[in-house]
Structure 1
Amino acid sequence: MKDRSVPELIALALQGDEDDETAWEAIRELHDRGGDEVFEAAVKLLHSASSRERGRGADILAQLRSPELVTRCADEILSALVTEQEVPVLESMAVGLGHLRDARAVPVLQPLKDHPDSDVRMGVVMGMMPHRDPVAIQTLIQLSRDSDEDVRNWATFSLGTQAEEVDTPELRDALFDRLTEPDIELRGEALVGLALRKDPRVLEPLRRELESSYVIVLAVEAAQALEDVSLLPLLRQLWESPGKADSYFRNVLADAIAHLEGLVR
Structure 2
Amino acid sequence: MFEETELLELFQRTLACDYDDDDAWEAVNALRASGARQVFDKAAEWLRSENPLERARAADILGQIGVGPGKKHAFPAEACDLLLTLLLNESHARAAASALVALGHIEDPRALPPIYRFVAHEDPVLRHAVAFALGCFAKDSAALPGLMVLMSDTDEDVRDWATFSLGVWGDLDSARVREALARRLGDDFDNVRLEAIAGLAKRNDKRVLPALIETLDATRGAPDAKLAEAACLMLGLRREPRHWKGPDYALALRHQFGCDAAPVWQ
TM interval, short-chain normalised: 0.7 to 0.9
On the 8 A contact 2:151/2:160 being kept in 1, the answer is yes
Consecutive unaligned residues in structure 1, runs of 5 or more? 241-252
On the 8 A contact 1:105/1:127 being kept in 2, the answer is no
On the 8 A contact 1:185/1:218 being kept in 2, the answer is no
Deviation at 1:38, TM superposition (A): 0.5
User: Matches of 2:126 and 2:246 in 1, distance apart?
Assistant: 40
Residue 13 of structure 1 corresponds to which residue in structure 2? 14
Q: Map of 1:203-214 to 2, 5 A cutoff?
A: 203-213=209-219
User: Matches of 2:33 and 2:236 in 1, distance apart?
Assistant: 45
Deviation at 1:237, TM superposition (A): 6.0
Residue 145 of structure 2 corresponds to which residue in structure 1? 138
> Secondary structure at 1:113's aligned position in 2?
coil
Deviation at 1:216, TM superposition (A): 3.6
Which of 180, 188, 201 matches 1:182? 188
Consecutive unaligned residues in structure 2, runs of 5 or more? 67-71, 257-266
- Between Structure 1 and Structure 2, which shows a larger proportion of helix residues? 1
Which of 149, 169, 186 matches 1:162? 169
Deviation at 1:236, TM superposition (A): 4.8
AA at the equivalent of 2:158: V
RMSD: 2.6
On the 8 A contact 1:192/1:225 being kept in 2, the answer is no
Q: Map of 1:74-89 to 2, 5 A cutoff?
A: 74-89=80-95
On the 8 A contact 1:109/1:124 being kept in 2, the answer is yes
Which of 195, 202, 224 matches 2:201? 195
Deviation at 1:91, TM superposition (A): 0.8
User: Matches of 1:227 and 1:110 in 2, distance apart?
Assistant: 38
From the superposition, tell whether residues 13 and 213 of structure 1 become closer, same or farther in structure 2 (CA, over 3 Å).
Answer: closer
From the superposition, tell whether residues 237 and 71 of structure 1 become closer, same or farther in structure 2 (CA, over 3 Å).
Answer: closer
> Secondary structure at 1:41's aligned position in 2?
helix
Residue 264 of structure 2 corresponds to which residue in structure 1? none
User: Matches of 1:239 and 1:135 in 2, distance apart?
Assistant: 40
From the superposition, tell whether residues 238 and 122 of structure 1 become closer, same or farther in structure 2 (CA, over 3 Å).
Answer: closer
Residue 259 of structure 2 corresponds to which residue in structure 1? none
2:88 pairs with 1:90: no
Which of 199, 213, 225 matches 2:233? 225
On the 8 A contact 1:30/1:60 being kept in 2, the answer is yes
From the superposition, tell whether residues 227 and 81 of structure 1 become closer, same or farther in structure 2 (CA, over 3 Å).
Answer: same
TM-score, normalised relative to structure 2: 0.82
Instruction: Write the deviation string for residues 191-235 of structure 1: whole angstroms up to 9, x where unpaired.
Output: 110011111211222122222255543322211122268xx99x9
On the 8 A contact 2:217/2:247 being kept in 1, the answer is no
AA at the equivalent of 2:218: S
Taking only the aligned residue pairs, the percentage that are identical comes to: 34
Deviation at 1:70, TM superposition (A): 1.7
User: Matches of 2:109 and 2:191 in 1, distance apart?
Assistant: 30
Q: Which moved more, 1:145-154 or 1:67-76?
A: 67-76
AA at the equivalent of 1:108: P
Aligned length: 239
User: Matches of 1:34 and 1:228 in 2, distance apart?
Assistant: 43
User: Matches of 2:233 and 2:204 in 1, distance apart?
Assistant: 8
Instruction: Write the deviation string for residues 80-110 of structure 1: whole angstroms up to 9, x where unpaired.
Output: 1101111111110111111111111111101
User: Matches of 1:135 and 1:47 in 2, distance apart?
Assistant: 31
Residue 63 of structure 1 corresponds to which residue in structure 2? 64
Residue 260 of structure 2 corresponds to which residue in structure 1? none
Which of 143, 151, 161 matches 2:158? 151
Deviation at 1:184, TM superposition (A): 2.2
User: Matches of 2:126 and 2:73 in 1, distance apart?
Assistant: 27
